[in-house]
Chain A
Amino acid sequence: MKKLIIYLSLFTFCFTGCKKIITIDTENADPQIVIEGKINDQLIDQQIKISKTIGYTEANVFPKVSGASVTVTDNKGNTYIFKEGTTPGTYINKMKGVPGVIYSLNVTAEGQTYTASSKMPNVVKMDSIGVIKNFFFGRERKTAAVFLKDPANETNFYHFNLYVNDVLSERFYVNNDRLTNGNDLRLQLFFKPPTNDHDSDELNANDKIRIEMECIDSNIFDYWYALSQQSNRGPNQGTTPANPTSNISNQALGYFSANTYEMLSATVK
């Protein structure tokens, strides 16, 4: 709706350029620890990444945190030790998560201990992915879409990543079945390229699209949902931005998610 307001206003009123770069007055905060951990249901090198925040004005190079001790345990009594691999700050262990199992993370880094746990939900598979055409003020617009059948007997939370020609879309795609339980779903994922070029947000013939789908638990849904409400919307619009609530203790930023994983690809016709 908000986007529509802006669109209509621009359409109706703004004859000259209505966007400009400004300088804002903000502090550069001290570095904070960021932990991003995922355990999925594929037999792969599962990754726990530890990094730090940088100040707002700094160049986008995020410092990695090496030398941490990282352990994941599950409620079946298994312990997995994660070792720092060839990439600094990325801790790996080749293993396969199982739906229904609760995984717990224990990280000790720079003298602080961080813990979190997450239960891997049941698998819901995509039926297919495809491209939808919409008309909006005379423009045909193609969007990527996921088709899936939501199970009626449980509460489901989904998270998606969209790649177009191997470029990750800069949006957080997240859904729950609060209003759509048990239905055949068609979820449209609007592409946002990392560049500022707003014309390149359309899909064109022969673009390769790839969609990753994860079934996530409710805490992780809240995490992505909070980010999705903020991304693309700066201050003074919608929700006042805040750090998403993390399921990791000790004020760490980031999340620890045990989730399923599935990937499908297609080519735009």
Chain B
Amino acid sequence: MPIKHYLALFLLLFSSTVLFAQNKFTLSGTIRDAGTGETLIGATVKISGTPTVATLTNNYGYFALTQPEGTYTVTVSYTGYASIIKTINLTKDTKLNEELKSANDLAEVTVSANNRKNENVKSAQMGLEKIDMKLLNSIPVLLGEKDILKTIQLLPGVKSGGEGNTGFYVRGGAADQNLIILDEAVVYNSSHLLGFFSTFNADAIKDVSLYKGGMPAQYGGRLSSVLDVKMDDGNNKEFKFQGGIGLIASRLKAEGPIVKDKGSFMVSFRRTYIDLFLRSSPDSSVNGSTLNFYDINAKANYKINDRNTIYISGYFGKDNIGVKDLFENNWGNVTTTIRLNHIFSDRLFSNTSLIYNNYNYTVRLLNDATNFKATSLVRDFNFKEDFQYFSNKHTLRFGLNATQHRISPIDIDSDEASQVNSLTQERRYGIESAAYISDEWAVNDHLNFLYGVRLAAFSLMGPGNFSTYDANGDIVSTANVAKGKFYKNYLNLEPRFSVSYLFNEQNSIKASYNRNTQNVHILTNATSSSPTDQYVLSSNNIKPEIADQVALGYFKNIEDNNYELSGEIYYKWLQNQIDYKNAAELLANSNVESELLYGVGRAYGMELFFKKKFGKLNGWVGYTLSRTERKFTELNNGKYFPARQDRTHDVSVVGIYNMTKRWTFSSSFIYSTGNAVTYPAGKYSIGGQMAYYYTQRNAGRMPYNMRLDVSATLEGKPGRKYQSSWNFGIYNLLARKNPYSIEFITDPNDPTKTAAQQTSLFGLIPSVTWNFKF
């Protein structure tokens, strides 16, 4: 749709809010947890009247509702908390700052039906998954190290990058098509220890939202999903400590008020100690080896006055792997976010963010002939200005965003004696800017819209020499661009549209369409994310990746919203996808763009989800039926072929049983079709060795994956200030040998033939973790 028409339509739809009547007053405020002072995101504030209107608190716990003058009953509720019901005499604009008591802090809690929300049915938002941070503690994971990225892989539509791997694929997208943000800062590499653990220390995390589709207009820059992770603000009432000791890592978190009820801080630290075991070895080449990671999350906030609150948060993480006298490799992310919440008027909320983030790695080879250090960096400066305007039937969001990227692909620093030469690959600069506007419109009790548009601009900037390549990979032309000059610009309009229609309070259908574009791409021909993954920006050769997704869903809640049922179908078209030529050399190659192939993709599927939210036994069952394909002129005779992550069936079952106040048992079960892979169809002799002949790309299947994990948590005696708990887990209880890779070897039973040998990573792995809190 041309931009003019779209904007015209937008203005038409929104015009009803602009004209607001007189004698109306606004009730606004912030909703917090009574125990910790943490703001509650997504709490419901309902005001009686005809009609009754309700809203959700935003990312900073803020809400605003407007009603004509009068006396109203206001209900504030949040899942797992006791509701507050108040009578408000609305004769002027009124503040309502409330603190809700968590179920954990109450001796006896009857979770009444009115705080079991039907938001999943009602909201126009589709494809959104929220992770309950309390649930996270009881879901069994590898080595007992609770992990949000592994937990989201148990949801329909999200596929694991591989066994024990934190990489994930959403609705047929690639692993680099997920926007992973921590307090708004992009986390480029979200994995620790070569992908077995994620960079998110669950202790420091407050809220996790995953958008699989229907991305709201305030998010952009990646095709497939948005994983929005928010850190804890810190307790603003009293000092608290918590921590844990596990098999591979220990954690410690401290939080407390800076000024009581005005400001707080939170610091959380985690470190692994696998290498301490190595260090105890008598062998010098073993005890000189390193294998560890650590991360630090820190955040502070201060309420300057009723209208202004400032937040500063940061993350620092590092992995170190090394073998004495052979090599060292370290990598990590740094993020810093400074935010100012400013309330212009009760109905206009704004947030200004200044964000810095980088990802860097160093590889050092210490071999006496190959002695060098290679470093790489991706660095962003990001400015964001977001506004939220609350009207009764509309919540309007609009804002601006400008990010400057700098990529240092690789710098090799070597001494004279080294056989590898020093090299500095040209830095690349780019500016991504975006403007968006969206409106959440509750038309009536049945119809809700969430629609908007994002205008995304990308410019590749000098200085630098930019080559354009032909299909053979030969240079057609090279432009020398001066510093600060724009070389290549792309402008994309991204419409976002979702609608929900409620048949009644517990049944709805929803539909959505959204377009996303992406200008930062990872080049890797490995399966899982690697510390040395290379980032490139859109250029003359690499066009912005584009995804269009349509989805349709049916949502149903039963028994006072205790059970949630949903089914979604989606279809996604992908443009300007990247693959690699034969014998592509991706690393330290200034002509790396000559090694790329460009094609299209399509992904479609159905996701079924059944969840029981409350009661002694809760959990969910997820099922995904899907297909993910790619098409490149140069590959597979130009025909569609399954992408590696194409898995037809994906089943996950999570069950949590709260047997007593102190004992909780949980288990998770997964089944998925094997990855699509290319198997040999023939073989021949070349250079005296055997080589394999391949026909169709990814026409074969790895064996299926199946795993059952269990865990048990024993909480300390309730009511004490000092709390400790034990978590016992068994990963892969069935000790099934799930496939990690396959290699072809001489058949041990018949040396004239070839056999396929499967390697598995993990057998049955027990774990124990001790957690404490005071």
Contact = CB atoms under 8 A, between A and B. Distances in A.
Interface stretch (B199-207, B662-670, B735-743): B735-743
B504 interface: no
Interface in A239-258: 239-245, 253-255
A19 interface: yes
A28 interface: yes
A83 to B, nearest CB: 21
A18 B762 CA distance: 8
A28 B584 CA distance: 28
A133 to B, nearest CB: 11
Contacts, number: 247
Contacts of A23: 756
A12 interface: yes
Nearest to B643: A240
Contacts of B698: 240
B306 interface: no
Contact of A135 (B285, B369, B420, B762): B285
A161 interface: yes
B160 to A, nearest CB: 13
Contact of B583 (A136, A180, A195, A226): A226
A183 B743 contact: no
Interface string B717-755: 000000000000000000101011111111110101111
A53 interface: yes
Interface stretch (A97-105, A199-207, A230-238): A230-238
Contacts of A153: none
A213 to B, nearest CB: 14
Interface string A1-36: 110111011101111101111111111110110101
B478 interface: no
Given A8-B291, A32-B682, A134-B326, A241 B692 contact: yes
Contacts of B745: 196
B681 interface: yes
B690 interface: yes
B285 A138 contact: yes
Task: Say which size band chain B's interface belongs to.
Answer: 35 or more
Interface string B211-253: 0000000000000000000000000000000000000000000
Contacts of A253: 684, 686, 693
A235 B702 contact: yes
Contacts of B367: 134
B420 A161 contact: no
Contact of B679 (A56, A134, A135, A237): A56
Contacts of A62: 684-685
Most B Cβ at <10 Å: residue of A2, A24, A172? A24
Contacts of B588: 178-179
Given A15-B763, A253-B684, A21 B757 contact: yes
B321 to A, nearest CB: 8
Nearest to B746: A196
A244 B412 CA distance: 30
A44 B699 CA distance: 44
B761 A9 contact: yes
A1 B285 contact: no
Interface string A87-111: 0000000000000000000000000
A196 B321 CA distance: 29
B589 A178 contact: yes
Interface string B626-657: 00000000010000000010000000000000
A18 B737 CA distance: 7
B737 A237 contact: no
Contact of A22 (B532, B644, B685, B742): B742
A38 to B, nearest CB: 9
Contacts of B324: 135
Contacts of A45: none
Given A26-B681, A53-B693, A196-B745, A236 B527 contact: yes
A222 interface: yes
A208 interface: no
A20 B757 contact: yes
Contacts of B743: 232-234
A58 B420 CA distance: 44
Interface in A178-237: 178-186, 194-196, 222-227, 229-237
A60 interface: yes
B525 A239 contact: yes
B689 interface: yes
B128 interface: no
Contacts of B369: 185-186
B419 interface: yes
A253 B694 CA distance: 11
A168 B688 CA distance: 8
Interface in A145-196: 161, 168, 170, 172, 178-186, 194-196
Interface residues of A, number: 88
A179 B423 CA distance: 8
Most B Cβ at <10 Å: residue of A32, A60, A134, A232? A60
A54 interface: yes
A25 B682 contact: no
B742 A236 contact: yes
Contacts of B321: 4
A29 B693 contact: yes
A135 B323 CA distance: 9
A182 B644 CA distance: 40
Given A22-B703, A36-B687, A185-B419, A240 B678 contact: yes
A34 B683 CA distance: 10
Given A26-B700, A52-B684, A234 B419 contact: no
Contacts of A21: 747-748, 755-758
A231 to B, nearest CB: 8
Contact of A29 (B412, B682, B688): B682
B585 interface: yes
B91 interface: no
A234 B744 contact: yes
Given A18-B761, A235-B679, A186 B644 contact: no
Most B Cβ at <10 Å: residue of A5, A229, A234? A234
Contacts of A85: none
A168 B689 contact: yes
Given A25-B701, A236-B644, A161 B741 contact: no
Nearest to A181: B421
B498 interface: no
B678 A53 contact: no
Contacts of B757: 19-22, 234
A51 B682 CA distance: 13
A67 interface: no
B756 A234 contact: yes
B289 interface: yes
A54 B678 contact: no
Interface in B483-527: 525-527
B686 A36 contact: yes
A227 B688 CA distance: 13
Given A14-B762, A54-B683, A196-B748, A241 B678 contact: yes
Interface in B291-331: 291, 321, 323-326
B752 A13 contact: no
Nearest to B416: A183
9 contacts: A1-B530, A10-B761, A16-B735, A61-B752, A161-B688, A231-B689, A235-B702, A236-B162, A238-B525
Interface of B: 162, 194, 274, 281, 283, 285-286, 289, 291, 321, 323-326, 367, 369-370, 412, 418-421, 423, 525-527, 530, 532, 580, 582-585, 588-589, 635, 644, 675, 677-695, 697-703, 735, 737, 739-748, 750, 752-763, 765
Interface of A: 1-2, 4-6, 8-10, 12-16, 18-29, 31-32, 34, 36, 51-62, 134-138, 161, 168, 170, 172, 178-186, 194-196, 222-227, 229-245, 253-255
Given A172-B687, A242-B582, 7 more contacts: A22-B703, A56-B681, A185-B369, A239-B580, A241-B678, A241-B694, A254-B684
